[in-house]
Structure 1
Amino acid sequence: MNLDDIKQPIAKELDAFEDKFKASMQSSVPLLDRITHYIVKRKGKQMRPMFVFFSAGLCGGITESTYRGAALVELLHTATLVHDDVVDNSFERRGFFSVNALWKNKIAVLVGDYLLSKGLQLSVDNKEFDLLKIVSDAVQQMSEGELLQIEKVRRMDISESVYYEVIRQKTASLISSCCAAGAASAGASTEVVEQMKNFGEKIGIAFQIKDDLFDFGVDDVGKPKGIDIKEKKVTLPLIYALNKADKPLKKQMINLVKNHSDNEDKLKQIIDFVRESGGLSYAEEQMLNYQNQAFAILDSFPQSAFKTGLQNLVRFTTERKK
Structure 2
Amino acid sequence: MSGLEAIKAPINTELELFEQKFRQSMKSTVPLLDRITHYVIKRKGKQMRPMFVFFSARLCGGIGEATHRGAALVELLHTATLVHDDVVDNAYERRGFFSINALWKNKIAVLVGDYLLARGLLLSLDNDDFKLLKIVSEAVKQMSEGELLQVEKARRMDISEEIYFEVIRQKTASLIASCCACGAASAGAPDEDVRRMSQFGEKVGMAFQIKDDLFDFGSDDVGKPRGIDIREKKITLPLIYSLNKAGRSERKHIIHLVKNHAEESEKVQEVIDFVRESGGLRYAAEIMGRFQEEAFEILRQFPVSESRDSLEELVRFTTERDK
**TM-score bracket for this pair, using the shorter chain length:** over 0.9
1:160-239 alignment runs, 5 A limit? 160-220=161-221, 225-239=226-240
Contact preservation (8 Å) 1:134, 1:177: yes
The aligned runs of 1:111-122 (5 Å cut-off) are: 111-122=112-123
CA contact (8 A) 1:123 1:132 kept: yes
Residue in structure 1 matched with residue 81 of structure 2 by the alignment:
80
Is residue 2:44 matched to residue 1:43?
A: yes
* Cα contact 1:60–1:187 (8 A) shared by 2: yes
Instruction: Answer yes or no: is the 8 Å Cα contact 1:153–1:163 preserved in 2.
Output: no
Match of 1:274 in 2: 275
Deviations 1:65-98, CA, capped at 9 Å, x for gaps? 0000000000000000111111111111110011
Q: Which amino acid aligns with 2:239?
A: L
Distance in 2 of aligned mates of 1:85 and 1:265: 27
Q: Which amino acid aligns with 2:59?
A: L
2:321 counterpart of 1:310: no
- Could you tell me how far apart the structure 2 residues matched to 1:220 and 1:58 are? 35
Q: Which residue of 2 aligns with 1:30?
A: 31
C-alpha distance in 1, partners of 2:158/2:144?
A: 22
Question: What is the alpha-carbon distance in structure 1 between the residues aligned to residue 202 and residue 69 of structure 2?
Answer: 21
Give the residue type in structure 1 aligned to 2:165.
Y
Whole-Å separation in 2 of the counterparts to 1:36 and 1:258: 37
CA contact (8 A) 1:153 1:234 kept: yes
Give distance in 1, aligned partners of 2:79 and 2:267. 36
Residue 26 (structure 1) shift: 0.5
TM-score normalised by length of structure 1: 0.97
1:248-300 deviation per Cα after TM superposition (whole angstroms, max 9, x unaligned): 11111111111112222221211111111110000000000000000001111
Q: How far apart are the structure 2 equivalents of 1:115 and 1:6? A: 29
Structure 1: which 5+ residue stretches go unaligned?
A: none
Q: Greater CA deviation, 297-306 or 207-216?
A: 297-306
Give the whole-Å Cα distance in 2 for the aligned partners of 1:225 and 1:103: 28
- Structure 2 distance, partners of 1:152, 1:78, is 25
Q: CA deviation at 1:150?
A: 0.4
- 1:105 equivalent to 2:106? Answer yes
Hey, what does 2:286 align to over in structure 1?
Answer: 285
Classify 1:220/1:315 alpha carbon distance in 2 versus 1 (closer, same or farther; 3 Å).
Answer: closer
> Distance in 2 between the 1:178 and 1:144 partners?
19
CA distance in 2, matches of 1:143, 1:158: 18
Q: How far 1:157 sits from its partner (Å)?
A: 2.5
What is the alpha-carbon distance in structure 2 between the residues aligned to residue 107 and residue 123 of structure 1? 25
Whole-angstrom CA distance in 1 between matches of 2:92 and 2:162:
32
Which is further off, 261-270 or 70-79? Answer: 261-270
Q: Which residue of 2 aligns with 1:148?
A: 149
Residues 76, 263 of structure 1: CA spacing in aligned structure 2 closer, same or farther, 3 A cutoff?
Answer: same
Q: 1:16, 1:237 → 2: CA distance?
A: 40
Tell me which amino acid in the other structure corresponds to 1:317.
T
Aligned residue pair count: 321
Tell me the SS of whatever aligns to 2:302.
coil
Aligned equivalents of 1:81 and 1:220: distance in 2?
23
Task: Say what the alpha-carbon RMSD is for the aligned residues.
Answer: 1.4
Indicate the larger mover: 277-286 or 27-36: 27-36
Deviations 1:182-224 (CA, angstroms, capped at 9, x unpaired): 0000001111100000000000000000011000013259xx8
**CA distance in 2: counterparts of 1:38 and 1:264, whole angstroms:** 33
1:251 aligned residue:
252
Separation (CA, whole Å) in 2 of partners of 1:268 and 1:75: 37
- Whole-angstrom distance in 2 between the partners of 1:170 and 1:53: 22
Instruction: Give runs of aligned pairs for residues 11-26 of structure 1, distance below 5 A.
Output: 11-26=12-27
- Alpha-carbon offset, residue 302 of structure 1: 1.2
* Cα distance in structure 2, aligned partners of 1:96 and 1:261: 24
Partner Cα separation in structure 1 for residue 87 and residue 264 of structure 2: 26
Amino acid at match of 1:119: G
Identity of aligned residues (%): 72
Structure 2: how far apart are the matches of 1:92 and 1:226? 16
Answer yes or no: is the 8 Å Cα contact 1:63–1:185 preserved in 2: yes
Counterpart residue identity of residue 62, structure 1: I
The equivalent residue for 1:242 is 243
Rounded to whole Å, the distance in 1 between the matches of 2:248 and 2:262 is 20
Secondary structure of the structure 2 residue equivalent to 1:50: helix
Residues 57 and 158 (structure 1), Cα distance of their counterparts in 2 relative to 1, 3 Å cut: same
Distance in 1 (alpha carbons) for counterparts of 2:28 and 2:199? 36
TM-score normalised by L of structure 2: 0.97
| Contact 1:203/1:294, CA 8 A, preserved across alignment | yes
